[in-house]
Structure 1
Amino acid sequence: MGKIVISQNVTLDGVVEDPTGEEGSAYGGWFDRCMAEDRAAWAELEYSEAIAADALLIGRRTDAYFGPRWNVAPGDWAERLRALPKYVVSSTLTDPIWVNSTVLGGDVVEEASRLKQRIAGDIVVYASRQLVQTLLHNGLVDEFRLIVFPLVIGTGKRLFDDAGTATALRLQGARPIGRNLSALTYEVVRDA
């Protein structure tokens, strides 16, 4: 049985919205503001996660953002991401942008449950905040891998807004990434 792993870049106060500033929010662009001296360490961690993954599960907007970038990016990390099977959750999309992608157009909970049955390893979810909340609310998340950026924004959409349910987590690991970032890994604790 597969494991759904949420892999997110978040600010210290949990904001995931507009990390690159392309959405035009007043607080956007926090990813690059905090990244200068830590980019290589962050990229190494992300690459190792991609190597260990068996599939990606993403939403339509994440496909639209990552597809054009990673389809043409050079290097081993980009090649690995292109090679991974990707499953795009969408009720409107018919042709995903990111190569090697399949659209899951049915009920999100049913589709994700079937995916967990079919894939034996890590099914990593990048970005896709709305999808993350749906998966969490329906008990389908197994692990969180959070890269915490040392910035408190105070406003913006947070990873756990409207999660819909209290979820117990168990810390599996915590370590610095570069000088300023932190990598936190939490396992979701299932009811006994």
Structure 2
Amino acid sequence: MGKIVVSQNVTLDGVVEDPSGEGGFRHGGWFLQFMHQDWEAWAELELAEAQAAEALLMGRRSDEYFGARSSMMGGEWLDSLNRLPKYVVSTTLREPKWTNATVLAGDVVSEVSKLKQQIQGEIVVYASRPLVRTLMEHDLVDELRLTVFPVAVGAGERLFGETSDKRPLRLIHTKAVGNGLVHLAYERAREA
């Protein structure tokens, strides 16, 4: 059975919106602005995660973002991601932008539940806030991996929205990434 792993860069106050600054959000661009000398350590962490993954799961906008960049950029991390099968959750998308991608157009909960049955190993979710919220609400996330950046931006879309109930998690791993970032891993706690 597959394991849904959400991997997300996030500010100290939980904001995930516009890390690159390309989206025009007034507090965007925090990813590079606060990466400092930690780039190499962060890249090693991301490469190890990509190499351990069996598939990627994402929403339409993430497919567009990564798909547009996948042919223009190179490197071992992107090569690892390009090789993986990708599953794009969307009711409007017909042709995914990223290579080796399949559109999951049906009910999200049903489609992801089936995907977890079909794939053995980690199914990693990058940068897909609405999808993550749906997966969390329906208890489909098995592990959260958060790389926390040393900044509170004070406004913006956060990874988690309102939920119908508490979602207990258990800390399973912590790691300093370089000199300024922290990587936290949580698994879903079956009992509170």
Q: Same fold (TM over 0.5)?
A: yes
Matched, 1:71 2:71: yes
- 2:53 corresponds in structure 1 to 53
Partner residue in 2 for 1:145? 145
Listed one character per residue, the Cα deviations across residues 27-72 of structure 1 (whole Å, up to 9, x for unaligned) are 0101011112111110110010000000000000000101111233
Secondary structure of 1:17's partner?
Answer: coil
Aligned 1:16-95 pairs, distance under 5 A: 16-95=16-95
Q: Secondary structure at the match of 1:91?
A: coil
CA distance in 1, matches of 2:140, 2:53: 17
TM-score (ref. length: structure 1): 0.97
More displaced 10-residue stretch of structure 1: 18-27 or 176-185: 18-27
RMSD of aligned residue pairs (Cα, Å): 1.1
Identity rate, percent: 58
Q: Deviations over 1:94-131 (max 9, x none)?
A: 00001010000000000000000000100000010000
* Residues 54-92 of structure 1, C-alpha deviations (whole Å, 9 max, x = no match): 000000000010111123322222211110000000000
Q: Which amino acid aligns with 1:16?
A: V
Q: Distance in 1 between matches of 2:162 and 2:61?
A: 19
Q: 1:47 to 1:163 in 2, by over 3 A?
A: farther
**C-alpha displacement at 1:145, in angstroms?**
0.3
The one-letter code of the counterpart of 2:145 is R
Q: Distance in 1 between matches of 2:154 and 2:4?
A: 29
Which residues of structure 1 form unaligned runs of 5+? Answer: none
1:165 aligns with 2:161: no
Deviates more, 1:165-174 or 1:49-58: 165-174
* Residues in 2 aligned to 1:20 and 1:77: alpha-carbon distance in whole angstroms: 18
Residues 164 and 61 of structure 1, relative CA distance in 2, 3 Å threshold = farther
1:8 maps to 8
Aligned to 2:175: 175
Q: Which runs of 4+ in 1 moved over 3 A?
A: none
CA distance in 1, matches of 2:27, 2:139: 31
Ranges in structure 2 where 5+ consecutive residues have no aligned partner = none
User: 1:88-127 maps to which residues of 2 (within 5 A)?
Assistant: 88-127=88-127
What TM-score do the two structures reach when normalised by structure 2?
0.97
- How many correspondences in the alignment? 192
Task: Tell me how far apart the structure 2 counterparts of residues 190 and 52 of structure 1 sit (CA, whole Å).
Answer: 24
Tell me if the contact between 1:71 and 1:78 (Cα under 8 Å) persists in the aligned partners. Answer: no
